[in-house]
């Protein structure tokens, strides 16, 4: 198991540590529900240093990223960020990523922890013949903290003197002699920042944020929060076998920008119309849906399955993302979720389950 530079800090704080994507990570400190509430009402602090980071630079960097990502990188000015996808030739999702344009010919890509090695191999394979592009894996040199919640922006600005950057923007700054990169994307449905720093400086930054009132939170809370906000997770809503249009991320695919890996498959799928769609389910009885649970129409026929499910303390109900046949995806449609052999009633609802305006 790999460990982030904050491992001993987590242990000292009494965190419950579990294996995750090859890392030993905190799943909770004092309880997931309390940590979810802390993010929704105050400010939560997450160690997400297990994520991967790749630097892409050189005169061919823009053209390279246009070719290998599904979103339109030309829309990014220096200092802006973009949610995007790495697709395979069949239109399946290799990973979802955030692309940052740091300068005219310099980009930073953040990769999911569980996909980092295969992503890196894929990035290299697609860039190895291009002398105008240099790829550098900086994951082992980079720590990443997420500060999320309605009080997060005020805390980070008071501590670091952070500039006033808009959503999906980034900026560099120096704090206590440490160079930081600040971004404002988020994965919880709340406002806040992600802070990149050198690997060995994470403890000082974490301690300062915690002393300022941030509640340490684990991956358990992070998963509940992202599900309440209806954000997809690789290996659940996204995978390499399912066409991206059936994963709820079609908005991040820009077929009009020109050729890119997976474009032909996406165009063909659009012409045919997706057979399945990703929807939200809210349980109408006391029940907690889980990944893999079958979803049934009112007549009893199977129409799909749950991709992620949990109990939401914010909504006070069981909620799920599910991939269903298109005929069963209308808001208000009544369905049943097979939970250990018992059919629990649920309703298709509009997404996200929770929104605070971000």
Query: How many structural domains comprise the chain?
Result: 2
Does residue 245 sit within a domain? no
- Residue 357 predicted with pLDDT over 80: no
Provide the residue range defining the domain that includes 324.
Answer: 275-358
pLDDT, mean of residues 165-194: 97
Same domain, 11 and 146: yes
Does residue 210 sit within a domain? yes
Does residue 279 sit within a domain? yes
Does residue 251 sit within a domain? no
Does residue 335 sit within a domain? yes
Q: How confident is the model at residue 105 (pLDDT cuts 50, 70, 90)?
A: very high
Does residue 30 sit within a domain? yes
Same domain, 282 and 356: yes
Q: Give the count of alpha carbons within 13 A of 25, CB side only.
A: 20
> What is the percent of the chain where pLDDT is above 70?
100
- Contact by Cβ (8 Å): 291, 323: no
Instruction: Give the tokens for residue 68.
Output: 């290998």
Same domain, 311 and 198: no
Same domain, 219 and 280: no
- Residue 215 predicted with pLDDT over 80: yes
State residue 305's pLDDT score.
98
Alpha helices by DSSP H, the chain: 7-12, 32-41, 61-68, 116-127, 152-160, 202-211, 219-228, 263-272
pLDDT digits (tens, 9 = 90+) for 279-319: 999 999 999 999 999 999 998 999 999 999 999 999 999 99
State the pTM of this model: 0.96
As a whole number of Å, the CA-based R_g of the chain is: 20
State residue 130's pLDDT score.
86
3-state secondary structure 1-50: CECCCCHHHHHHCCCEEEEECCEEEEEECCCHHHHHHHHHHCCEEEECCC
- Contact by Cβ (8 Å): 243, 90: yes
Of the candidates 162, 163, 170, the one whose C-alpha atom is nearest the C-alpha of residue 80 is 170
The CATH number assigned to the domain holding 296 equals 2.40.30.110
Same domain, 285 and 210: no
Does residue 155 sit within a domain? yes
List for the chain the helix, strand, coil content (%; round to 5). 30, 35, 35
Q: What is the mean pLDDT of the chain?
A: 97
Same domain, 152 and 22: yes
| Per-residue b or e along 306-330, where b marks 16 or more CB atoms closer than 10 Å to that residue's CB | bbbbbbbbbeebbbbbbbbbeebbe
How many angstroms separate the CA atoms of 13 and 19, rounded? 18
- Residue 187 carries which DSSP code? S
Does residue 70 sit within a domain? no
- Contact by Cβ (8 Å): 250, 57: no
Same domain, 173 and 313: no
Same domain, 295 and 218: no
State residue 100's pLDDT score.
98
């Amino acid at each position: 198991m790999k460990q982030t530079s904050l491992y001993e800090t987590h242990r000292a704080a009494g965190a419950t540590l579990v294996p995750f994507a090859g890392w030993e990570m905190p799943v909770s400190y004092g309880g997931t529900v309390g940590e979810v509430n802390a993010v929704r009402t105050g400010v939560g602090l997450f160690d997400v240093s297990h994520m991967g980071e790749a630097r892409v630079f050189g005169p061919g960097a823009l053209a390279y990223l246009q070719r290998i990502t599904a979103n339109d990188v030309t829309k990014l000015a220096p200092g802006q960020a973009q949610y995007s996808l790495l697709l395979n030739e069949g239109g399946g999702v290799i990973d979802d990523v955030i692309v940052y344009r740091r300068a005219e010919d310099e980009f930073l890509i953040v990769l999911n922890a569980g996909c980092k090695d295969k992503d890196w191999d894929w990035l290299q394979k697609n860039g190895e013949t291009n002398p105008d592009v240099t790829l550098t894996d900086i994951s082992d040199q980079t720590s990443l903290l997420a500060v999320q919640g309605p009080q997060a922006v005020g805390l980070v600005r008071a501590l670091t003197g952070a500039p006033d950057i808009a959503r999906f923007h980034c900026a560099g700054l120096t704090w206590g002699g440490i160079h930081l990169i600040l971004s404002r994307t988020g994965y919880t449905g709340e406002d806040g920042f992600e802070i990149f720093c050198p690997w060995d400086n994470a403890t000082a930054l974490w301690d300062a944020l915690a002393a300022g009132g941030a509640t340490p939170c684990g991956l358990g809370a992070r998963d509940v929060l992202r599900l309440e906000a209806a954000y997809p997770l690789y290996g659940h809503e996204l995978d390499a076998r399912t066409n991206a249009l059936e994963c709820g991320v079609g908005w991040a695919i820009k077929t009009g920008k020109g050729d890119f890996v997976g474009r032909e498959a996406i165009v063909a799928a659009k012409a045919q119309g997706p057979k399945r769609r990703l929807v939200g389910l809210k349980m109408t009885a006391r029940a907690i849906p889980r990944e893999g649970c079958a979803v049934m129409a009112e007549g009893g026929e199977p129409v799909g399955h749950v991709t992620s499910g949990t109990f939401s303390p914010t909504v006070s109900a069981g909620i799920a993302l599910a991939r269903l046949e298109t005929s069963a995806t209308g808001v208000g449609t009544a369905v049943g979720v097979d939970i250990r052999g018992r059919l629990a009633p649920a309703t298709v609802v509009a997404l996200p389950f929770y929104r605070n305006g971000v």
